[in-house]
């Protein structure tokens, strides 16, 4: 293979547009495509900025021309030549009006045949693409996403620096805490039998930084959670982590609305209108069945519980008697598309969210078909139609069950219908804040309360007196930013009073000894005076995914994991040898079949 010698790149592919016709430049990259037509050879040179056509003709040195004939796709080259206007222009390329007439050419590394064709819109199995991720990243759609991610991170740093925030790194090897998702743990060689945890977030450290006097902090923080994966979740992920002293909910929301407006404008040229809308948690759940609602379309929930509480239908009456709820959505204008077969499919769909099925009424051309009309008198059926604003051409769906089951199933149903039948304007961004979350959630399985967000979240002032007497009705000074039905970020005002923090731990079932053992350092730090403070964390991966319109965060992460939390490219995680286990004082006790 050739050496670079004295040849050095002067222009990236896209920068060739800055050169005048006749200018001599040097470009470098991978050969994406070769077209050899005998006395002419055209090669598409690719770098992460774009593609530039290299042309070898009879003006080339014969050795250069012969070398070009030996090229294979995806080889690494450097090419020196003069810029010329193309006779056959390509409007699909940014550089499609020019080409480089090559005078000097070096093949730095010749490629074998790749396992798949490296260009967009070529179908490749996920397993194969991820095994050769370094090749997949050469595709323009993926490389553009990584470049956009870089620009978003730069915008993050610029914005918060301009607003007096300091970027401070917090530890990656920390103490394991019992609340929240499962930790990834790291055994300590020098402290036999003890373990570090990888941080699920820098939560405690950023609160301690407020006590330290660094009253505006941010960090592009790596976080880890040992939990099941979804399209928008990975075992390791990146947060834009923010904390502010001397602030309340309005201060934090205003600061971060400015941030969102800034990055959408700089990266996408999209003007976010401020202030963003706000819904309380209760409003979001009752209207959309979700605490992260997509409000780009209607299909809002209607509460039928009161009008059905005295009905003769035993199923509805028993649900209400057991403190359940009955709610409906109206799929307006979809009666012709929602056939009985499709309605049966949707009934099965909601069962995956805990519902027993769906009641429905389909109105088309004056005919009414359904599965609850015989159980209810016509006057009551008419009242249901009136409350749901049902007209000819509509389909009314009803779910009856415990409130959370109804919200989950109808919330999912509205998304399923909207996605399948094109009710969502994909060109728009739907942004809103959800506020006033429950402070606690009760686990029937464990017989105790857990913090809805985390145990350092402050209750609303008007709910503090309910901490011990009525924790289920306590609301939090918490807020989530939702974009297109996805939680993009969430945060809260923190507890800064050690006495209130003790009460919080007590409600969560911690004894005084457990509180001091696990969080004594925080309680102790509070005693040295703590400013009022709060913060928020945005999922960087999710934010980039949403901004770029991708379906999965894997499309915006250079080296993602698959659903089993494995990395196919390096075959991680892997076994370690006995020597390493012995150094860590570990023995394995893996059950059969695991």
Tens digit of each residue's pLDDT (9 = 90 or more) over 452-506? 999 999 999 999 999 999 999 999 999 999 999 999 999 999 999 999 999 999 9
CATH code of 297-424, in short, is 3.30.1360.30
Helix, strand, coil abundance in the chain, percent, nearest 5: 30, 25, 45
- Whole-angstrom CA distances from 50 to 92, 271, 466, 473 are 11, 27, 60, 56
The model's confidence at residue 440, banded by pLDDT at 50, 70 and 90, is very high
Tokens of 519: 């969080």
By the 8 A CB rule, do 440 and 509 touch? no
Sign of the Cα pseudo-torsion (199, 200, 202, 207, in order): negative
The whole-number average pLDDT for the span 546-550 is 96
Share of the chain above pLDDT 90, in %: 89
DSSP tag of 305: H
pLDDT at residue number 61: 87
What is the distance between the alpha carbons of residues 43 and 55, in angstroms, rounded to a whole number?
7
Secondary structure class of 267 (helix, strand, coil)? helix
Please give the Cα distance from 479 to 463 (Å, whole number). 16
Q: pLDDT for 156-177, tens place per residue?
A: 999 999 999 999 999 999 998 7
pLDDT band of residue 444 (cuts 50, 70, 90) is confident
Give the CATH fold of the 14-109 domain. OB fold (Dihydrolipoamide Acetyltransferase, E2P) (2.40.50)
pLDDT for position 357: 94
pLDDT at 233: 81
Looking at 31-35, 59-63, 570-574, which range is the least confident one?
A: 59-63
pLDDT at 547 over 80: yes
Q: Which two tokens stand for residue 398?
A: 């009803």
CA dihedral over 155, 161, 162, 164, signed as positive or negative: positive
Q: Which of 110-124, 135-149, 178-192, 560-574 has the lowest mean pLDDT?
A: 178-192
Can you tell me the distance from the alpha carbon of 146 to that of 30, in angstroms, rounded to the nearest whole number?
18
Stated as kind and residue range, the H or E segment containing 135 is helix 133-136
What is the pLDDT, as a whole number, of residue 180? Answer: 66
pLDDT band at 445 (very low <50, low <70, confident <90, very high): confident
Give yes or no on whether 143-279+432-557 and 297-424 have one common fold. Answer: no
* Alpha-carbon gap, residue 252 to 534, rounded angstroms: 7
**Which residue ranges make up each domain of the chain?**
14-109, 143-279+432-557, 297-424
Q: How many CA atoms lie within 13 A of 546 on its CB side?
A: 24
59 pLDDT band, cuts 50/70/90, is confident
CB of 354 within 8 A of CB of 409?
A: yes
Question: What's the confidence (pLDDT) of residue 24?
Answer: 97
Domain 143-279+432-557 adopts which CATH fold? Answer: BirA Bifunctional Protein; domain 2 (3.30.930)
Q: φ, ψ for residue 511 (rounded to 5)?
A: -75, 165
pLDDT of residue 575: 93
| Two structure tokens written together for 8 | 């050095």
Q: Which residues pair with 222 in a beta bridge?
A: 238
Q: 382: which 2 tokens?
A: 């008419």
Tell me the average pLDDT of the chain.
95
Q: Which helix (H) or strand (E) holds 43?
A: strand 41-47
Q: What SS3 class is residue 112?
A: coil
pLDDT for position 373:
86
Q: What proportion of the chain, given as a percentage, has pLDDT over 70?
A: 99
- Give the distance from CA 53 to its chain's centroid: 37
pLDDT band at 563 (very low <50, low <70, confident <90, very high): confident
Residue 178 predicted with pLDDT over 70: no
For residue range 81-139, list pLDDT tens digits in order. 999 999 999 999 999 999 999 999 999 999 999 999 999 988 999 999 999 999 999 99
pLDDT at 179: 61
At residue 67 the predicted structure's pLDDT band, cuts being 50, 70 and 90, is very high
Distance CA 321, CA 190 (A): 60
Q: In which band, very low, low, confident or very high, does the pLDDT at 594 lie, cut at 50, 70 and 90?
A: confident
pLDDT at 592 over 90: no
Q: 448, 536, 545: which is closest to 256 by C-alpha?
A: 536
DSSP 551: S
**Predicted confidence (pLDDT) at residue 536 exceeds the cutoff of 70:** yes
- Residue where the block lists tokens 């893996």: 590
Query: Measured between alpha carbons, how far is 71 from 301 in angstroms, rounded to an integer?
Result: 62
Give the CA distances from residue 182 to residues 178, 235, 236, 506, 570, in Å, rounded to whole numbers and listed in that order. Answer: 8, 10, 12, 22, 24
pLDDT digit string, tens, across residues 309-334? 989 899 999 999 999 999 999 999 99
Q: Which of 27, 38, 147 is nearest to 95 (CA)?
A: 27
If you ran DSSP here, which 8-state letter would residue 68 be given?
Answer: H
Q: Kindly report the three-state secondary structure assignment for every residue of 310-368.
A: CCCCHHHHHHHHCCCEEEEEEECCCCCCCCHHHHHHHHHHHHCCCCCCCEEEEEECCEE
User: Does the pLDDT at position 450 exceed 80?
Assistant: yes
Is the pLDDT at 550 greater than 70? The verdict is yes
Average pLDDT over residues 203-220: 97
Residue 181 pLDDT > 80, yes or no? no
pLDDT in the model for residue 187: 96
Q: Would the pLDDT of 76 be above 80?
A: yes
Q: Are 414 and 288 in contact (CB under 8 A)?
A: yes
Write the CA distances from 397 to 284, 310, 329, integer angstroms.
19, 20, 5
């Amino acid at each position: 293979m050739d050496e670079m010698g004295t040849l050095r790149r002067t222009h990236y592919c896209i920068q060739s547009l800055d050169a005048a016709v006749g200018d001599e430049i040097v470009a470098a990259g991978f050969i994406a495509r070769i077209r050899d037509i005998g006395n002419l050879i055209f090669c598409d040179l690719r770098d992460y900025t774009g593609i530039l056509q290299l042309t070898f003709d009879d003006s080339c040195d014969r050795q250069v021309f012969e070398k070009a004939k030996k090229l294979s796709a995806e080889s690494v080259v450097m090419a020196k030549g003069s810029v010329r206007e193309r006779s056959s222009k390509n409007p699909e390329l940014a550089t499609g009006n020019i080409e480089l007439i090559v005078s000097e050419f070096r093949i730095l590394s010749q490629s074998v045949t790749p396992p798949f064709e490296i260009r967009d819109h070529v179908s490749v199995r996920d397993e194969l693409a991820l095994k050769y991720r370094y090749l997949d990243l050469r595709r323009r759609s993926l490389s553009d996403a990584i470049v956009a991610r870089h620009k978003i991170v730069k915008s993050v740093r610029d914005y918060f620096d301009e607003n007096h925030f300091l970027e401070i790194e917090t530890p990656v090897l920390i103490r394991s805490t019992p609340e929240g998702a499962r930790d990834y743990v790291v055994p300590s060689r020098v402290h036999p039998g003890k373990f570090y945890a990888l941080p699920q977030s820098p939560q405690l450290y950023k609160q301690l930084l407020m006590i330290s006097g660094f009253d505006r902090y941010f960090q592009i923080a790596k976080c880890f959670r040992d939990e099941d994966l979804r399209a928008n979740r990975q075992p390791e992920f990146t947060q834009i982590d923010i904390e502010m002293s001397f602030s309340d909910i309005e201060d934090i929301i205003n600061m971060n609305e400015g941030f969102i407006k800034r990055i959408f404008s700089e990266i996408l040229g999209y003007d976010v209108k401020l202030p963003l809308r706000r819904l309380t948690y209760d409003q979001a759940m009752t209207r959309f069945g979700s605490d992260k609602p997509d409000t780009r379309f209607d299909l809002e929930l209607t509460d039928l519980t009161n009008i059905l509480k005295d009905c003769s239908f035993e199923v509805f009456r028993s649900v209400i008697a057991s403190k359940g709820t009955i709610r409906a959505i109206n799929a307006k204008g979809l009666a012709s598309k929602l056939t009985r077969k499709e309605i049966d499919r949707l009934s099965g769909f909601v069962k995956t969210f805990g519902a027993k099925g769906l009641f429905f009424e389909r109105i088309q051309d004056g005919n009414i078909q359904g599965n609850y009309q015989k159980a209810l008198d016509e006057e009551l059926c008419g009242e249901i139609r009136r409350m749901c604003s049902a007209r000819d051409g509509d389909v009314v769906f009803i779910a009856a069950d415990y409130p959370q089951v109804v919200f989950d199933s109808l919330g999912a149903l509205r998304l399923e219908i909207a996605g399948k039948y094109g009710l969502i304007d994909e060109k728009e961004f739907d942004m809103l804040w959800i506020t006033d979350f429950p402070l606690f959630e009760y686990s029937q399985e464990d017989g105790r309360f857990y913090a809805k967000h985390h145990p350092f979240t402050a209750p609303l002032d008007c709910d503090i007196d309910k901490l011990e007497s009525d924790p289920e009705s306590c609301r939090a000074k918490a807020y989530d930013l939702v974009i297109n039905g996805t939680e993009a970020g969430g945060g809260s005002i923190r507890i800064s009073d050690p006495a209130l923090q003790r009460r919080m731990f007590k409600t969560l079932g911690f004894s005084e000894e457990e509180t001091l053992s696990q969080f004594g350092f925080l309680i102790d730090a509070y005693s040295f005076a703590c400013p009022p403070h709060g913060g928020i964390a945005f999922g960087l991966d999710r934010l980039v995914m949403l901004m770029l319109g991708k379906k999965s965060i894997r499309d915006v992460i250079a080296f993602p994991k698959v659903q089993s939390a494995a990395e196919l490219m390096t075959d991680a995680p892997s076994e370690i040898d006995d020597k390493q286990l012995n150094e860590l004082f570990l023995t394995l006790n893996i059950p059969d079949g695991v």
